[in-house]
Amino acid sequence: MKITKICCIGAGYVGGPTMAVIAQKCPHIQVTVVDLNEERIAAWNDENVDNIPIYEPGLSEVVAVARGRNLFFSTDVEKAIDEAQIIFISVNTPTKTYGKGKGMAADLKYIELCARQIARISKDNKIVVEKSTLPVRTAEAIKSILDNTGNGVQFQILSNPEFLAEGTAVQDLLNPDRILIGGDPSDDGQKAIQALVDVYSNWVAADKIVTTNVWSSELSKLTANAFLAQRISSINAMSELCEKTGADVNEVARAIGMDSRIGSKFLKASVGFGGSCFQKDILNLVYIAKSYGLNEVADYWEQVIILNDHQKRRFSNNIVQTLYNTVSDKKITFLGWAFKKDTNDTRESAAIYVADDLINENAKIAVYDPKVSRKKVLADLDYLDTRAASKNETSILSFESPYEACAGAHAIAILTEWNEFVQYDWQKIYDSMQKPAFVFDGRNILDGPTLEAIGFVYQSIGS
């Protein structure tokens, strides 16, 4: 099958960048990204390409090349589905907040809505691709919906999970470690797999495109994120031990990272991991294990989440204890709100939970992040639903300048590893703060001895 038209349902952090790169690399394929969120689609279509709703280094340049040529953003979902040969489903699959599996299982209501809409609209055979992170055997449910509620056309379901790291998503798409495609072993299933392989083959080497059955593909995504998150929680567990024993977690990480069997990636001690994938996927894995009665397996993976939550609480508790056991009415400056640098994504950011703890202690939180708005900061705190929105409104101070954010502060907490933080005039910041002036480096990015020479009381994770 020669693919000429692709549709992607969902214009978020996965769908938008993925389709932009496919469009750039496959100018012969029309790629349409659809979403019911009119504000988001309008932002993707903004004349100033720098105003697109997702910040990723290099993304605006990719969109500028393809948008209007063969890349389109639209709210006309039905038209895009009707015309496409391949339909990617890239909608949100949050952790359930209700019913069976609450707090662990993935909420698949948006996936089901997409499947029913595809079934209703489709008048010819389609390839439907799971791009969202999904529990094992979700493809089976999607196929059941499509086959039993459609117009008698044939559907092939493929699993094509993303392995993108926010902040490097464009490079991850242009030069992927691997492309994983899972499908049915039947002849029609293999033809569908090959059709998607042919799309990626426009820029990805054949030896980096891996094909499996659909169940292996779905589980591989969950497992990959679980393994990565496990490494972060492991080094963070060691960071607490380092602080008690006088060891330096950075030196420990460097020493063990030189072991080729371990490697150095994901051994950076910090205030904890965030983002849309790690916690959600591990909880999903825990739920799946429990549903099969594998309680020891579930407990093992759940401990990764428990340790991550502990690390965030430990960080906020340390701020309170160091500031003479009270932060009431004290100004604490947060440098960074996004869950990592080079993204405006704040989902599950450690900053949210540290701020929540400190607001409970009546602190005033001054926030500076180069890519995150005050509106988003307040929305993140309101979503926790731990207090009245009015309390969050009065407890959060937002600034466009890091120097203004730090002026008069009792302490600074580094919550995102933005490169620009290292380049600040820290003498100027020190002069503007309350004394003694504290810095709590939750990302281990600053030069401690230099800051201490200026006069700061400097603390970092794991040393």
Burial class (CB in 10 A: 0-12, 13-18, 19+), 65: middle
Determine the longest span between alpha carbons in the chain, in angstroms: 74
List the one residue out of 118, 113, 129, 109 whose CA is nearest residue 78. Answer: 118
Burial class (CB in 10 A: 0-12, 13-18, 19+), 234: middle
Which candidate in 162, 166, 243, 302 is catalytic? Answer: 162
Token pair listed for 121: 């609209």
Which candidate in 7, 8, 26, 277 is catalytic? Answer: 277
CA pair distance 275, 345, nearest whole angstrom = 7
Per-position DSSP letters for 82-96, written without gaps between them: HH-SEEEE----PBP
Q: DSSP letter at 363? A: P
CA pair distance 443, 415, nearest whole angstrom = 6
Residue with tokens 């349902």: 9
CA pair distance 101, 97, nearest whole angstrom = 8
What's the Cα-to-Cα distance from 71 to each of 120, 123, 130, 202, 208, rounded to whole Å? 25, 23, 20, 16, 25
User: What residues are paired with 86 via a beta bridge?
Assistant: 6, 127
User: Contact at 8 Å (CB) between 347 and 339?
Assistant: yes
Residue 221 annotated in active site: yes
Contacts 24+ apart (CB under 8 A), 103-112: 103/283, 104/283, 104/284, 104/286, 104/287, 104/290, 105/135, 105/283, 105/284, 105/287, 106/133, 106/134, 106/135, 106/280, 106/284, 108/134, 108/135, 108/138, 108/141, 111/138, 111/142, 112/141, 112/145
Which candidate in 25, 126, 131, 221 is catalytic? Answer: 221
CA pair distance 114, 117, nearest whole angstrom = 5
For residue 409, report the phi and psi dihedrals to the nearest 5 degrees. Answer: -75, 150
Residue with tokens 């020891």: 296
CA pair distance 26, 203, nearest whole angstrom = 9
Catalytic annotation, residues: 162, 221, 277
